[in-house]
Structure 1
């Protein structure tokens, strides 16, 4: 999962080819990478799409962006939730 997140970040920040070499599990997604608001939205959408996970934005908090490792832990908690994304939709 870490490698996929790094790939997504590098694709979004394609103007910074040196970024890949500076990333580690402790990299702060806000302060170290410097995603603007549009890039952050792109990042979250790509994570959901490419990792096949529905991010629970009700549970999401700024602290989950303090490191790639913290973000991965949050994503794992989202994956373990077995409830449908849209509860009001009849199947």
Structure 2
């Protein structure tokens, strides 16, 4: 697991019900269909990502498919040129 994926999973664990572990969030798990992420959780997640990576997401170009799994979203974030400090 790379650092970007780890940080994304950490934000997700804070959004999902208490007791969700990082190991319980698989890289290919469908966050919407399998985890049941709702719109409020999605907003909390995206705001948490902006804070965690100190970035501003372009919501106009963000597609639902980019948010399907941790692996897909990791690729999206990495494509933004995020560097780990």
TM-score, with structure 1 as normaliser: 0.73
Structure 1 stretches of 4+ with a deviation exceeding 4 A read none
Does the 8 Å CA contact 1:55/1:75 hold for their aligned counterparts?
Answer: no
Structure 2 unaligned segments of length 5 or more: list them.
none
How many residues get paired? 79
Partner of 1:46: 48
Structure 1 unaligned segments of length 5 or more: list them.
81-91
RMSD: 1.8
Structure 2 residue 48 is the aligned partner of structure 1 residue 9:
no
Once the two structures are superposed, the pairs formed by residues 5-84 of structure 1 within 5 Å of their partners are 5-15=8-18, 17-79=19-81
More relative contact order in 1 or in 2 (CA 8 Å, sep 6+)? 2
Measure, in 2, the Cα distance between the counterparts of 1:78 and 1:21.
25
SS in 2 for 1:79: coil
